[in-house]
Amino acid sequence: MTKDKIKLARSVRAHIDVQVDALVPTLLAGLAKSECSSSEVTKLAKFLRTEEAQVYMRTIVTALLTNQMSVYQDAFIAQLSGLLRLVVGLSDVRADSCAEPTYVILRDSAERAVKQITFTAPQEMSRIQQLAWHEAQAGSLSGLMETSWLLNRRTPSDMAAIHKFARDYCRIIHTHHQYIVPPHLDDKRRVPIDDLYITPRFNANEIRFHALTTRSTEDRPQLPFDRLLRRLYRAVVLGDPGAGKSTLAQKLTFDFSGPDWADNENGGRLCIPFLVTLRDYALHKRRFKSSILQYIESYINSEHQIVPPPGAIEYLCASGRALIIFDGLDELLETYRRQEVVNAVESLGGRCPVSDSSVTG
């Protein structure tokens, strides 16, 4: 995967777009006089090219833009220490030693970038601040300590197993979702989804809360498909029956599980899509009293014959690598059952605030 494609992927995935790759020279210069060894500095520079670093830096920018940096400083350092131990492979002592100077460099770089954008593009900064408040309200800052706790439960060997699972899983579901079966009177014909799929037109229903609609309206601005992808952080796609919402969910799963989203540089995946049919989850929840994460794990095991490593789904969602696609909210006809599912979706969003999610209904 080329660097340009990696940047495009991260740009699409990022609610607030931060190019951490560009900070490598700054990090190398800043850590030259620190207690970190040259080999550790090299590992830290490589860390900046991971999806975990991208999400971490995005959260720092969110805290800066919402004036909450001082509140969460200790949590940021604790989380970075966990990331350096887990992703970089440093010992507990060395991770704690390198975390604070690395955090200071990343924070100062973010502050300079914010000041520059404020001076050169004040209107753009106003838009970014609105996005930052939206992300903070979704829990990206308040969930820092829980994320740190989750990181401390994992080991570097766990990461190798999780990355292998992510690669195997994406390969399987990419194959599984590559065909669609159009309605036919005589037989069922499987047609490659890219040969038949027509991207619907989207209208921005309420940009602030990322509600989108496939209904045709004259008073709402058209939203191109690439801009829809940029709004997947907390997107709701509304549309009439037969408008193609479920096919859209399948297409997103197919695309995001494809080779363009492989993180070849770090041996993982930039994005791991999980498609949850809410009608099926509601039945599973009623029978087994399971959470959404438990249902995803059970579904992958039973339907795709692959067993996720313990805690893998939870880690991928908490680390920001997951895209959870909820399909068919409008198919839940019983009001109280629908509300139960909505509560579960909202609870998961609060528990995994840095991962993207999309709901069709």
pLDDT tens, position by position, 155-178: 888 888 998 999 999 999 999 999
Residue pLDDT, tens place only, 188-197: 788 999 998 8
Quick check: 9 pLDDT over 70? no
Grouping H, G, I as helix, E, B as strand and the rest as coil, residue 14 is coil
Q: Burial, 338: exposed, middle or buried (Cβ in 10 Å; 0-12, 13-18, 19+)? A: middle
Residue pLDDT, tens place only, 45-104: 888 888 888 888 888 988 999 999 999 999 999 999 999 998 888 999 999 999 999 999
Q: What's residue 171's pLDDT?
A: 95
Question: Looking at the chain, how many residues does it have?
Answer: 361
- Where are the chain's structural domains? 3-153, 159-360
Cβ neighbours of residue 270 closer than 8 Å, sequence gap 6 or more: 6, 9, 10, 13, 51, 261, 262, 263, 321
What is the Cα gyration radius of the chain?
Answer: 21
Quick check: 185 pLDDT over 60? no
More confident residue, 162 or 127: 162
Q: What's residue 260's pLDDT?
A: 83
Q: CA 177, CA 170: separation in Å to the nearest integer? A: 10
Q: CA 306, CA 134: separation in Å to the nearest integer? A: 36
Q: Please give the single-letter amino acid code of residue 15.
A: H
CATH superfamily of 159-360: P-loop containing nucleotide triphosphate hydrolases (3.40.50.300)
Q: Is the pTM of this model over 0.75?
A: yes
Q: Burial, 170: exposed, middle or buried (Cβ in 10 Å; 0-12, 13-18, 19+)? A: buried
Nearest to 47, CA basis, from 260, 266, 261? 266
Residue pLDDT, tens place only, 60-75: 988 999 999 999 999 9
Q: How far is CA 182 from CA 131, 193, 195, 207, 252, in A?
A: 39, 10, 12, 33, 18
Q: 307: pLDDT confidence band, cut at 50, 70 and 90? A: very high
Q: CA 31, CA 315: separation in Å to the nearest integer? A: 29
Quick check: 1 pLDDT over 50? no
Q: Burial, 144: exposed, middle or buried (Cβ in 10 Å; 0-12, 13-18, 19+)? A: buried
